[in-house]
Amino acid sequence: MSTLGIYEKATPKDISWRERLEFAKELGFDFVEMSIDETDARLARLEWSQKDRKEIIDAIYDTRVKILSMCLSGHRRYPFGSADPENRAKGLEIMTKAIDLASDLGIRCIQLAGYDVYYEDKSLMSREWFIENLKKAVSMASSKGVILSIEIMDDPFINSITKYLKIKEQIPSPYLQVYPDIGNLSAWPENDVGYEIEKGIKEISQIHLKDTIAVTENSEGKFKEVPFGKGCVDFIGCLKILKRLNYNGPFVVEMWSEMNEQPAAEIEKAKQFLLPKLREAGYFG
């Protein structure tokens, strides 16, 4: 049976992890997806002491709300495909520490951003370095039993499951999977969304639920903070396909309401939109 999680950045920013898990529980979520982004504050979590980690584990056991996944977007700043060898080395260091943190906290899945570089120009070498370092990362993750899952992105490098599968051919490991964001998948006009889901179903570890505004000839689209129901995503269609294909993995509601005055109200509004569609598709009935 599928579980429903909430992205950390939807929850109030300046609260403890115990408070965050309690917040998620009160709103009916099964787990929280942790964020390790490119900011110094969130990258510092990779240095948490044994005592810090034990406190979070205790909170997980006390609240019965897990941290099932980690969104590791810190590689935007230190990408695997960087032309700067120091950035590539830092990216691998971040990866090593993130895998150790995931192992300690019981996190099953680390979501990796599906781009070779973010702030640099792309090239054949940026792709080559990305694959080379991703291969090292998968090897490290497999030794700890942690899945690395590449998100379908707002970036042309991996903006479809088809493109992910081309990378997977180079690294044929069960510890490398795909994490479709159905908003990102739907926003690119070249994607046949139903076909993409069908083609990749054996590789899908988790699903992000998010709305987006489509890319067109005259618009670069919008990939974040689009209110549910105001974008291009056919939620019922996507969910029905996933159910037909027997997907029973986790869903994560991806939102950015951590700085809002009333994040709980924003999340409840999103749930009112999503839950009827999930139930219509056969989930959480």
Task: Please tell me the distance from the alpha carbon of residue 160 to that of residue 152, in angstroms, as a whole number.
Answer: 6
pLDDT of residue 222: 95
Which H/E stretch holds residue 53? helix 50-63
Q: Cα–Cα distance between 268 and 24 in angstroms, integer?
A: 11
Instruction: Give the residues across from 4 on adjacent strands.
Output: 251
pLDDT computed for residue 117 by the predictor:
96
Q: Which residue has the tokens 């019922």?
A: 236
Answer yes or no: pTM beyond 0.85: yes
Count of structural domains within the chain: 1
Q: How far apart are CA 11 and CA 16, in angstroms?
A: 11
- Indicate which CATH number applies to the domain containing 213: 3.20.20.150
**Nearest to 114, CA basis, from 198, 223, 265:** 223
Find the domain containing 258 and state its range.
4-281
At residue 273, the pLDDT reads 98
Q: Encode pLDDT of 134-188 as tens digits.
A: 999 999 999 999 999 999 999 999 999 999 999 999 999 999 999 999 999 999 9
Query: Are 102 and 146 contacting, i.e. CB atoms less than 8 angstroms apart?
Result: yes
pLDDT under 50: residue ranges of the chain: none
Give the pLDDT score at 259: 84
The angle at the Cα of 151, spanning 75 to 167, to the nearest 5 degrees, equals 90
Position 4, amino acid:
L
pLDDT score, position 38: 95
In this prediction, residue 260 carries a pLDDT of: 84
